[in-house]
Amino acid sequence: MKGKRLLMIPGPIEFTLEVLAEMAKPTLSHTDQQFIEEFGQALEKMRKVWLAPNGQPFAIAGSGTLAMEIAAANITEPGDNVLIVHTGYFSERMADIFRLHGANVDIVQSAVGDIPEIDEVRRRLKSKNYKILSITHVDTSTGVRTDVKALSAAAQETNTLVVVDGVCAVAGEELRMEEWGVDIAFTASQKAIGVPPGLALLVTSKKAMESFRSRKSPVGAYYCDWQYWLPVMEAYEGRKSAYFGTPAVNLVRALNISLGQILDEGMEARFERHARNAAAFRAGLSTIGLSFVPVRKEIMANTLSAVYYPEGTDASILPLIAKNGAVLAGGLHPAIKTRYFRIGHMGMSDASEILAVLGSIEQGLATAGYSFEPGASLKAAQSALIQP
């Protein structure tokens, strides 16, 4: 489309026409039977996308940061021990939230672009009575992906609750919540879920709900408290209305559409598509001499890429790339903020967008005077995409 620039940041992302059309419909009352039905359907679909058939879904108006606080607030009491698997900026934010709710927080540190060793996390878990292990599945600041399956297995050895920040992962990266023993996994609507910003989305295990119900002190955040939200979620899933705070009606209706599209694609196919597109994208960028923040291939996210500016360039290339059709994001991690940029490739993003973005990047780099073989990134990506 002439004049249209692809929004290829790590959220908000591009949304399907069906989702956008749903957002444009007149707003229904939150007690309208049609909305009650659609909200109930969306909650049921969340279990299927999270692969948590016995989980309790929550869809609450707010941002990804709200989802972080909802997770921490409801299962944390003053004096609880929490272990953070550190992979970047958002691991630190999670630590701050747990501290705010009275937890004693310890951190398993990693270098920028790396992840802690599983054996070190296991050793730390056994060194103290930790109630919670907090994992950032994909840290949006570094493009690093953790091994949630292995970390969850380690936590089960000490009966530790597992909280997964899946803001930049759910519906893009492989997550088998119930099979892997994850107790809370949350995200925000504007990421791989494929809905405009404004919904905090969580699914919790029975174990997490039992921890909440057995707490001795009140939840330290009124709007986050599951005692108010759980009856609302249960009512809508039972096709009745209930009230605590007004739901984001149009966003919930759009969520129902997007979750349906995700399930129509199938979770296995969706995981594979994200992995294939990410590998092709990295192949293209590598071919023209660009390098990545994650220190090795196996920990690179499939939902976004964190890329160092090539020698002789800086953030001034981003407007040049945008002028040629793709809006990308600058750096976020404080230690390297001026040295890298980020590209989202999640949700509806397909092979044609991967190629279009690589073309925009090449044009921007050429304008900035960076030397490379024109078309090389597209050729490498296309070769990766068409491999059987």
Mean pLDDT in the chain?
97
319-359 pLDDT per residue, tens = 999 999 999 999 999 999 999 999 999 999 899 999 999 99
Look at residue 53 in the predicted model and tell me its pLDDT: 98
Q: How confident is the model at residue 247 (pLDDT cuts 50, 70, 90)?
A: very high
Res 1 pLDDT > 70: no
Q: What is the mean pLDDT of residues 362-367?
A: 98
What's the one-letter identity of residue 11?
G
pLDDT above 70 covers what percent of the chain? 99
Look at residue 387 in the predicted model and tell me its pLDDT: 83
Higher pLDDT, 4 or 210: 210
211-223 pLDDT per residue, tens = 999 999 999 999 9
Q: What is the mean pLDDT of residues 63-72?
A: 98
Among 54-63, 313-322, 348-357, where is mean pLDDT lowest? 348-357
Q: What is the mean pLDDT of residues 166-180?
A: 98
Residues 206-222 as b or e (16 or more Cβ within 10 Å = b): ebbbebbeeeeeebbbe
Q: How confident is the model at residue 2 (pLDDT cuts 50, 70, 90)?
A: low
d(CA 192, CA 172): 6
Predicted TM-score of the model (pTM)? 0.97
Res 6 pLDDT > 60: yes
Q: Which two tokens stand for residue 14?
A: 């591009």
CA dihedral sign, ordered 365, 367, 373, 378: positive
On whether the CB atoms of residues 343 and 366 are closer than 8 A, the answer is no
Residues whose CB is less than 8 angstroms from the CB of residue 258 and which lie 6 or more positions away in sequence, other chains included: 15, 16, 19, 193, 194, 195
R_g of the chain computed on alpha carbons: 21
Burial (CB < 10 A; 0-12, 13-18, 19+), residue 247, is buried
Which of 348, 374, 347 has its CA nearest to residue 362? 374
User: What domains sit in the chain, N to C, each tagged with a CATH number?
Assistant: 6-11+266-386 (3.90.1150.10), 17-265 (3.40.640.10)
**29 conformational bin, left if phi > 0, alpha if psi -120 to 50, beta if neither:** beta
Look at residue 3 in the predicted model and tell me its pLDDT: 61
